[in-house]
Amino acid sequence: MHAVDIIIKKRDGHELTTEEIEFFIQGYTRGEIPDYQAAAWLMAVYLRGMSDRETRDLTLAMARSGDVLDLKEVAPVVVDKHSSGGVGDKVSLVVAPTVAACGLPVGKMTGRGLGFTGGTVDKLESIPGYRTDLTPEEFKAQLAHIGIVLTGQSADLAPADRKLYALRDVIGVVSSIPLIVSSIMSKKIAAGADGILLDIKVGSGALVKAVEEAVQLAETMVRIGTQLGRRMRGLISDMNQPLGWAVGNALEVREAIDVLHEGGPTDLREHCLVVAAEMLALGGIVVDSAQGIEMAADAIATGKAWQKFLALVEAQGGDVATVEEPDHLPQARLIEPVPAPGGGYLQKVNAAEVGLALMDLGGGREKKEDPIDHAVGVVTHYKVGDEVQAETPLFTIHANDETRLAAARERLLAAHTIGPEPVEPLPLFYQSVG
Ligand code: URA
């Protein structure tokens, strides 16, 4: 078999065999197929697309390019979730301990923030000492012991995806359904869970801007995951404004802690209950989402979810005293409430710009290796549809540098549209898939 023949076959619009896909992916991972041939092949896939069978083979080949965790020896059913990324998305911090507290093990490898989207690993790292570099052996041992793991992606998980994603990024082929699906699903398959809940965000603060596109992506992922023997479900959720109030790593941990104590913003609380309920249904713990919501709410109300969160922090080396007393989380030096420039209704928020304001403050990153300031961020005070009083704080900025604060203030003011006409509040979810 020759790489060039496989490139030509896809270039001419033909379906690749399982063996050809396997040959190409393993050859590229081992460095036997060079970047320029992989780039040509990716472009051919981008332009010609892939059948479901090819996408499934590509997913499996990428998953098998590194470690594949077998969690059967740990628990009969383990669930995981994937969010397509957004602004203020701290859902995993609430949902993982809530679901685990209901007796369903949650094993999750999660990512860092990039560009305007935040990442759960960065949020967790605002807890002093919290380790996000568990080995596969530690992952399994902790899952068996306390039924919950939230860690970064192990270096040997789907290495083909790491190489291919970096290449896709610089040749303009990120936005291809078979390439996105195989990239996400290969990592999820390798991480070993039986049930996977997809939270696909759509809107100004998401990578996907249109509901139809999000549905197509979710449907393909659900189909491919199901064909690979996983229990799958997808939720299409709104990301036209930040989720909850807080955007910024330590601020978001604090907000998640509030929700685990039955407080926090209503939208975040409701979003978390729905996601937790769907995971419980996927794991066969409840018969439907209504029962799941009840069980998840009960786990929070009785303090079991909070106890599970504390067990998680302790198991991964985090300072439990800090989360018990969140004032000890990293705090910014400058805290500035910014008044609304005028009264009316909050009509629109450009959520991506709110994410970029976090980058202005130093709390997000442009490149994967950039350091970040965990203390900084923004706390918004209104949701779309709310009436806004002139001169009352529209949002509060937490900063460690005056110049950065000024840049974020300007960007955030421009990101909020206030007008005289009332508008409907935004939905939390658009639909479910699977
Ligand atoms: N996230 C991923 O992991 N891969 C993609 O291709 C897109 C988003």
CA 181, distance to chain mean position in Å, is 15
Mutate to test the pocket of ligand 1, among 116, 174, 180, 188 (most ligand atoms within 8 A of CB): 180
Catalytic residue among 64, 82, 90, 231: 82
Amino acid 152 reads G
Is 328 catalytic? The answer is: no
* Residue 58 located in a structural domain: no
CB distance 110 to ligand 1 below 6 Å: no
CB distance 99 to ligand 1 below 6 Å: no
CATH of the domain at 30: 1.20.970.10
Same domain, 143 and 291: yes
CA distance 237 to 270: 12
Boundary (domain end) residue, out of 303, 324, 345: 324
Residues of the domain holding 355:
330-419
Tell me which residue has its CA closest to atom 8 in ligand 1.
180
- Give the nearest ligand 1 atom to 111 CA: 3
CATH of the domain at 88: 3.40.1030.10
* Residue 62 located in a structural domain: no
Q: How many residues does the chain have?
A: 434
The encoded tokens of residue 123 equal 């949020």
Pairing relation of β-strands 79-83 and 195-202? parallel
Same domain, 346 and 320: no
What is the rounded radius of gyration, in angstroms, for the C-alpha atoms of the chain? 22
pLDDT at position 365 is: 87
Cα 180 to ligand 1 centre (Å): 5
Amino acid 60 reads L
Residue owning tokens 């979710």: 218
pLDDT at position 140 is: 95
Cα separations (Å) of 326 from 130, 159, 321? 15, 36, 8
How much is the pTM? 0.95
Same domain, 17 and 157: no
* Residue 235 located in a structural domain: yes
Below-70 pLDDT ranges, the chain: none
Question: How open is the CA angle 379-121-241, to the nearest 5 degrees?
Answer: 35
Is 182 catalytic? The answer is: no
Boundary (domain end) residue, out of 264, 290, 324: 324
* Residue 268 located in a structural domain: yes
Amino acid 129 reads G
- Give the nearest ligand 1 atom to 183 CA: 4
pLDDT at position 175 is: 84
Is 168 catalytic? The answer is: yes
CATH of the domain at 342: 3.90.1170.30
pLDDT at position 242 is: 98
Asked whether the beta carbons of 243 and 87 are under 8 A apart, the reply is yes
Same domain, 37 and 141: no
Amino acid 74 reads V
Boundary (domain end) residue, out of 324, 351, 380: 324
CB distance 184 to ligand 1 below 6 Å: yes
User: What angle do the packed helices 351-361 and 402-415 form, to 10 degrees?
Assistant: 180
Asked whether the beta carbons of 184 and 223 are under 8 A apart, the reply is no
Cα 394 to ligand 1 centre (Å): 33
Phi-psi region of 92 (alpha: psi -120 to 50; beta: other; left: phi over 0): alpha
Same domain, 405 and 385: yes
* Residues 71/72/78/80 CA torsion (nearest 10 deg): 40
pLDDT at position 174 is: 85
Residue owning tokens 């809530």: 98
Cα 140 to ligand 1 centre (Å): 25
Same domain, 189 and 313: yes
Cα 380 to ligand 1 centre (Å): 28
Same domain, 303 and 349: no
pLDDT at position 170 is: 87
Same domain, 96 and 188: yes
Same domain, 86 and 206: yes
pLDDT at position 368 is: 75
Same domain, 127 and 245: yes
Tell me which residue has its CA closest to atom 5 in ligand 1.
180
* Residue 224 located in a structural domain: yes
Tell me which residue has its CA closest to atom 6 in ligand 1.
180
pLDDT at position 41 is: 98
Number of neighbouring beta carbons within 10 Å of residue 66: 19
* Residue 394 located in a structural domain: yes
Is 163 catalytic? The answer is: no
CA distance 139 to 77: 15
User: Total domain count for the chain?
Assistant: 3
Same domain, 304 and 346: no
* Residue 66 located in a structural domain: no
Same domain, 95 and 141: yes
User: What angle do the packed helices 159-171 and 52-63 form, to 10 degrees?
Assistant: 120
* Residue 431 located in a structural domain: no
Is 82 catalytic? The answer is: yes
pLDDT at position 319 is: 98
pLDDT at position 362 is: 96
Cα 333 to ligand 1 centre (Å): 35
CB distance 185 to ligand 1 below 6 Å: no
